[in-house]
């Protein structure tokens, strides 16, 4: 892998970071709250930089909205 390529995460990896179920991550993607890239096989992948930014934003929010994105 080239160093200039974006690191992509699976729904399970994203779910682990947010401590939610992978299906929740898929719902976020369908709702447009998280951008996903589709593989040739139709699986979702998420840009690590975007996930980390969202994680930082939600932890700074202290989940005052009940933990919802």
Q: Is residue 22 very low, low, confident or very high in pLDDT (cuts 50, 70, 90)?
A: very high
Let me know: does 17 contact 50? Beta carbons within 8 Å: no
Please state, for a pLDDT cut of 70, what percent of the chain lies above it.
83
**For residue 28, is it within any domain?**
yes
> Whole domain around residue 12: which residue ranges?
8-60
Report if residue 2 sits inside a domain.
no
Note whether residue 16 is domain-resident.
Answer: yes
Q: Is residue 20 part of a domain?
A: yes
CATH of the domain at 24: 1.10.1660.10
The pTM for the full model equals 0.79
Residue 68 lies in a domain: no
Burial of 24 (0-12, 13-18, 19+ CB in 10 A): middle
Does residue 65 carry a pLDDT above 80? no
pLDDT band at 68 (very low <50, low <70, confident <90, very high): low
CA 57 to chain centre: 12
* Count of domains for the chain: 1
Residue 3 domain flag: no
* Per-residue pLDDT tens digits for 32-64: 999 999 999 999 999 999 999 999 988 876 555
CA quadruple 45, 48, 49, 51: dihedral sign: positive
Alpha-carbon Rg for the chain in angstroms: 12
């Amino acid at each position: 892998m080239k160093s200039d390529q974006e690191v992509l995460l699976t729904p399970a990896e994203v779910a682990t970071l947010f401590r939610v179920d992978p299906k929740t991550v898929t719902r976020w993607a369908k709702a447009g709250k998280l951008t996903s890239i589709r593989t040739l096989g139709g699986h979702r992948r998420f840009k690590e930089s975007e996930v980390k930014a969202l994680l930082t934003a939600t932890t700074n929010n202290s989940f005052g909205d009940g933990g919802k994105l």
